[in-house]
């Protein structure tokens, strides 16, 4: 028979010190696991957010690029090389297509009203606001999609009618597609198209909070090599009329600034904005800038 002393010795457990040490080790391990979990979750969430922003930015830039490449386009009516003449010992372009006039126009800080007629579009010239850009070109069922019973559509898919007088054939009309791109107050890349007479606008891509546009200009409207990049205001001050000034634009550099849909970052994340400045936001949204440069292949004054 065991003595009471032996029974007490067999039932002894951890001391208070041992228990505290075990709890401390457990808390350290739990903290490490939670830290890894939170870090992995934040990194995964940020990666997903960047991926979505990059996809949206790609769609926005491709949409802008597609229309800018078409700026000034019109189906040529004569064979290549037959649209020039010598004036004052210099080669001058002659009109050989339905559309004659400027195909591209932009504004620093946005247009005063995107619903104004092309020749009446004016600029706010507010450097802190997003830039706007407008394009126009002869549309058909090959360079746009047929819509609304018409052979061409605008940037919103609205059918555009054949209602613009030809520059070279009396009594003939053609389809002139117009699009004005801008960033709305709801952080959306939006477009106003002439499929509606009042240029009603609709959003195209969400999450675009800013757009900066710069224009690559040639020495004159017969050259095709970029000599410098300029603002819209600098283009307007080149010395010619609007069509001549904007006819010197041979490339467009677009930068759009994207913002995440929610403040799901654990802290403010610095980013480089469209002006190349490292910026620390005051919120926990994720911000990123994306850019591309587009060649203006059908600019005014260049042979088709």
Give residue-wise pLDDT tens across range 93-151. 555 789 988 899 999 999 999 999 999 999 998 889 999 999 999 999 899 988 888 88
For residue 280, being part of any structural domain is answered with yes
Of 98-102, 173-177, 196-200, 299-303, highest mean pLDDT: 173-177
Q: Are 139 and 174 in contact (CB under 8 A)?
A: no
Taking phi first (over 0 means left), then psi (-120 to 50 degrees means alpha), and beta for anything else, what does residue 42 get? alpha
Determine the 3-state secondary structure of 242 from DSSP: helix
For residue 38, being part of any structural domain is answered with no
For residue 282, being part of any structural domain is answered with yes
pLDDT greater than 60 at residue 212: yes
Q: Are 175 and 102 in contact (CB under 8 A)?
A: no
The model's pTM is 0.80
Q: What is the pLDDT, as a whole number, of residue 87? A: 42
pLDDT greater than 90 at residue 47: no
Across the strands, what pairs with 31?
A: none
Beta strand segments in 208-286, E: 208-217, 228-230, 249-259, 271-272, 278-279
Q: What is the pLDDT, as a whole number, of residue 304? A: 40
Q: Strand 159-160 and strand 84-87: pairing?
A: unpaired
For residue 259, being part of any structural domain is answered with yes
- Cβ neighbour number for residue 78 with a 10 Å cutoff: 13
Residues 6 or more apart in contact with residue 49 via CB below 8 angstroms? 260, 261, 264, 265, 286
What's the average model confidence in pLDDT over 1-30?
Answer: 70
How does 112-128 read in b/e, with b if 16+ C-beta sit within 10 Å? eebbeeeeebebeeeee
Cα separation, 72 vs 302, in Å, equals 10
Q: Tell me the CB-side half-sphere exposure of residue 283, using CA atoms within 13 A.
A: 9
- Cβ neighbour number for residue 158 with a 10 Å cutoff: 18
**Domain range for residue 291?**
51-295
Per residue in 234-258, pLDDT tens?
A: 999 998 999 889 999 999 999 999 9
Q: Are 187 and 203 in contact (CB under 8 A)?
A: no
For residue 304, being part of any structural domain is answered with no
For residue 207, being part of any structural domain is answered with yes
For residue 5, being part of any structural domain is answered with no
Structure tokens at 229: 């990049």
Structure tokens at 9: 């010795």
For residue 36, being part of any structural domain is answered with no
- Cβ neighbour number for residue 52 with a 10 Å cutoff: 15
Per residue in 63-92, pLDDT tens?
A: 999 999 999 999 887 544 444 444 444 444
Domain count, the chain: 1
Closest CA to 296 of 230, 240, 217, 232: 217
Mean pLDDT over the full length of the chain: 85
What's the average model confidence in pLDDT over 267-285?
Answer: 93
């Amino acid at each position: 028979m065991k003595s009471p002393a032996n029974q007490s010795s067999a039932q002894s457990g951890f001391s208070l010190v041992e228990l505290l040490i075990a709890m401390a080790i457990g808390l350290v391990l739990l903290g490490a696991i939670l830290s890894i979990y939170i870090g992995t979750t934040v990194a995964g969430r940020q990666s997903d957010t960047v991926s979505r922003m990059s996809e949206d930015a790609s769609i926005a830039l491709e949409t802008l690029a597609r229309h800018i490449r078409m700026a000034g386009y019109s189906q040529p009516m004569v064979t290549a090389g037959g649209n020039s003449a010598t004036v004052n010992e210099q080669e001058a372009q002659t009109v050989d297509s339905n559309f004659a006039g400027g195909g591209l126009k932009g504004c620093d800080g946005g247009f005063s009203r995107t619903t104004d007629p092309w020749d009446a579009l004016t600029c706010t010239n507010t450097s802190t606001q997003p830039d706007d850009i407008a394009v126009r070109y002869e549309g058909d069922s090959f360079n746009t999609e047929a819509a609304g019973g018409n052979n061409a559509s605008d940037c919103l898919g609205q059918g555009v009618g054949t209602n613009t007088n030809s520059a070279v054939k009396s009594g003939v009309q053609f389809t002139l597609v117009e699009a004005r791109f801008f960033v709305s107050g709801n952080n959306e890349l939006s477009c106003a198209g002439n499929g509606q007479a009042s240029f009603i606008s609709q959003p195209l891509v969400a999450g675009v909070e800013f757009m900066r546009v710069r224009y690559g200009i040639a020495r004159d409207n017969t050259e095709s090599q970029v000599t410098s990049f300029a603002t819209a205001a600098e283009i307007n001050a080149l010395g010619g009329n609007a069509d001549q000034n904007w006819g010197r634009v041979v490339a467009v550099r677009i930068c759009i600034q994207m913002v995440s849909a929610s403040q799901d970052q654990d802290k403010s994340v610095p980013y480089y904005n469209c002006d190349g400045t490292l910026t620390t936001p005051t919120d926990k949204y994720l911000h990123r800038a994306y850019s591309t440069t587009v060649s203006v292949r059908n600019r005014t004054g260049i042979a088709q």
